[in-house]
Amino acid sequence: MMDRSTDKNTEKRKENKKTYRGRLVAAFVVVLVTTLLEIIYYGYHIMDNRDNVVHSFKNEQDSTAQIIADGLAGKSEDAMIHFIRHSVPVSGTTWGFILKDGRVLYMKDDDTTKNLENISSKAEIELYMEDLGGIVSEASVSGTEHVSGVFTDKDYVLEEYGTSNMEFYIVTAVIATILVFGCILIEFAGRIGHEGRKVIALQSDLTERNEKFDEYERLTDQYEEELRNRDFDKTEIKREGYYDLEIVDTLLSKSSDTELFPITFMFICVRMGDRYFSRDAIFRIMDFIKGSMGKNHVTAELSKGYFVVIMYKTDLAAAEKTREEMLSKWEAFSKGAELETVLREVVSTENPRNTFYHEKDRLLDLANW
Residue range 293-322, pLDDT digits in tens: 887 788 998 887 889 999 998 999 999 999
Could you give the percent of the chain with pLDDT greater than 70? Answer: 78
Which residue from 76, 74, 119, 116 is spatially nearest to 101, judged by alpha carbons? 119
Residue 115 has pLDDT above 80, yes or no: yes
Would the pTM of this model clear 0.75, i.e. be above it? no
What's at 104, amino acid-wise? V
Q: Confidence class of residue 167 from pLDDT cuts 50, 70 and 90?
A: low
* Strands (DSSP E) found in the chain: 94-100, 103-107, 134-140, 146-153, 263-271, 297-303, 306-311, 338-346
Residue 87 has pLDDT above 70, yes or no: yes
CB 267 within 8 A of CB 318: no
Q: Please state which CATH number belongs to domain 232-365.
A: 3.30.70.270
Cα 94 from Cα 151, distance rounded (Å)? 6
Residue 125 has pLDDT above 80, yes or no: yes
Confidence (pLDDT) at 5:
47
Q: Confidence class of residue 274 from pLDDT cuts 50, 70 and 90?
A: confident
More confident residue, 189 or 150: 150
CA 34, distance to chain mean position in Å, is 19
Residue 205 has pLDDT above 70, yes or no: no
Give residue limits of the domains in the chain: 1-229, 232-365
What angle (nearest 5°) sits at the alpha carbon of residue 314, between those of residues 310 and 317?
115
Residue range 90-114, pLDDT digits in tens: 888 899 999 999 899 999 999 999 9
Could you give the percent of the chain with pLDDT greater than 90? Answer: 31
Q: In what order do the strands lie in the sheet with 263-271?
A: 297-303, 306-311, 263-271, 338-346
Q: In what order do the strands lie in the sheet with 94-100?
A: 103-107, 94-100, 146-153, 134-140
| 3-class secondary-structure state, position 275 | coil
Residue range 33-70, pLDDT digits in tens: 877 887 787 777 778 888 888 999 999 999 999 999 99
Residue range 325-341, pLDDT digits in tens: 999 888 888 767 888 99
